[in-house]
Amino acid sequence: MAQNKNPGNFANDREKAREAGHTGGTHQGAGNNPGNFANDREKAREAGHTGGTHQGAENNPGNFAKYVRRRYGADRTVDLSDAAPAFVLSTEGLFCGEDGTVHRLPGPGRNAGRRIIERLELDDIEGLIRDASKFLSRQVLEHGRFVYGLHPCFNREIPAYNALRHASTTYSMIEAWEVTNDGDLKNSIDRALAYLRGTLIRPARLPDGTDAAFVVEANGEIKLGANAVAILALAKHATLTGSTADYDLMRQLALGIRHMQNQEDGSFVHVLSYPDLRVKDPFRVIYYEGEAAFGLMRLYSLTQDPRWIETVEKAFGHFIRSEHWRHNDHWLSYCVNELTRFRPEERYFRFGIQNVAGHLDFVLERITTFPTLLELMMAAREMLERIRTMPEMQHLLEEIDLDKFYRALEFRAHYLLNGHFWPELAMYFAHPDSIVGSFFIRHHAFRVRIDDVEHYLSGYVAYRKYRVAKQQEESRN
């Protein structure tokens, strides 16, 4: 199906549709002037996005010209003037994979261009975990540093690095390794952990003379959340391997987090400078505090050192007073789930419910994939299931619509499929082999960054755990 528009009107329509993710293709020009651009092929050259600070979506003349020359020859051009005809295309198709399976590709809509999966089965979920973790494994260089990210439209690496995301991505890879037991993935994890221990983590002497450790960015920043996710990665590795080699390092990282906590009210300072440990930024990102509390809870569950849960409970006094649940933070969902295993108190359970109960419409309606929403739901689900087994806490379940909760959970798990680089999507980009199996952020020009993939991966690992447990329960009944 095609709609006849001129490029000026087409740009206006795209402006309106940008947040929804434009999924139509275009044909520019008339007669024998080649100008058919299937929706994903067009996107693969960012032909419909001007980039920079522009908030709309419109024809990018430079990118269109590059694509036309590459596809049709150096002497060919496309008329993008407002007077020239432009047709908005809606297409359907079929895709035959390397395994010989033919997949139907639907027409217009949010699922456009990728295979239809009406209901995720365990094989599907495990395939997503396997492919995404293999992608992350390929990003780990020999010395343990990641290729931080790609702009797949032009196969350009993102020239930046982030120590916090190095650690959190490694954590997600360890979660995936527990599922796949893949040897190549384990080798990549080992290299990434070695780089974390040897390069990104630095020793420090606290004002009271205590030896601590901090994850330090290239610019000398110490981020509260970075210490936390480093603990998560090291603790998960220790849990799965049985190794105690990192216990002292984790203790020092945890002491670094405690140093950043206000001992009177439980709040945290977010960013210090290294090596003088002066406060650089009292507040930066709300997620740092949930990360810090979750990291300490995972360390407590491993070592049973009472200092860590005392720090978390003090932090939760601050979270409750400040109504941090209004931020619907997935890290706090993870944390309160862990905390209530050891401190099954009503105030903590109620906080966990408040953190998600009023957010269900957003989970059901958010038009971007927003992978951390699945993480939020999965951690909350574990806590809710434990409340079901506690007669004295049953009244708390009246504070959340459980039917709507599980409907939102399943919707988000399936909606995240629109952020996966299926072969039928990746084939239109500059270097398909470099991105296939990964996950992307559509409204950032299909950006693929290690932390983007990390959040999709952690969500699906947790979703698999839920589906396995559900399948086992059904088989018993």
- Per-residue H/E/C for 203-243: EEECCCCCEEEEEECCCCEEEHHHHHHHHHHHHHHHHHHCC
Residue at token pair 């395939």:
127
Q: Sheet of 86-89: strands edge to edge?
A: 2-5, 86-89, 25-28, 36-37
C-alpha span between 457 and 129 (Å, rounded)? 6
Length of the chain: 477
pLDDT, residue 79, reads 79
pLDDT, residue 31, reads 43
pLDDT, residue 382, reads 98
Q: Which residues contact 462 (CB under 8 A, 6 or more apart)?
A: 374, 375, 378, 379
Query: In the structure encoding, which two tokens stand for residue 243, read together?
Result: 């190794």
C-alpha span between 213 and 251 (Å, rounded)? 9
CA-nearest of 404, 386, 378, 384 to 465 is 378
Query: In the structure encoding, which two tokens stand for residue 67, read together?
Result: 């694509």
pLDDT, residue 47, reads 55
3-state secondary structure of 272: strand
Structure pTM?
0.90
pLDDT, residue 26, reads 53
pLDDT, residue 350, reads 98
pLDDT, residue 15, reads 43
Q: How would you classify residue 121: left for phi > 0, otherwise alpha for psi between -120 and 50, otherwise beta?
A: beta
DSSP assignment of 144-211 equals S-B--EEETTTTEE-----HHHHHHHHHHHHHHHHHH--HHHHHHHHHHHHHIIIIIEEEEE-TTS-E
pLDDT, residue 14, reads 45
C-alpha span between 161 and 139 (Å, rounded)? 13
- One digit per residue, pLDDT tens: the chain, 477 residues? 555 555 555 444 444 444 445 555 555 544 444 444 555 554 554 555 555 555 445 667 777 777 778 777 878 877 777 787 877 777 889 999 888 999 999 988 888 889 999 999 999 999 999 999 999 999 999 999 999 999 998 899 999 999 999 999 999 999 999 999 999 999 999 999 999 999 999 999 999 999 999 999 999 999 999 999 999 999 999 999 999 999 999 999 999 999 999 999 999 999 999 999 999 999 999 999 999 999 999 999 999 999 999 999 999 999 999 999 999 999 999 999 999 999 999 999 999 999 999 999 999 999 999 999 999 999 999 999 999 999 999 999 999 999 999 999 999 999 999 999 999 999 999 899 999 999 999 999 899 999 999 999 999 999 999 999 999 988 887
Query: In the structure encoding, which two tokens stand for residue 477, read together?
Result: 């009944």
Q: Sheet of 221-223: strands edge to edge?
A: 221-223, 271-273, 279-281
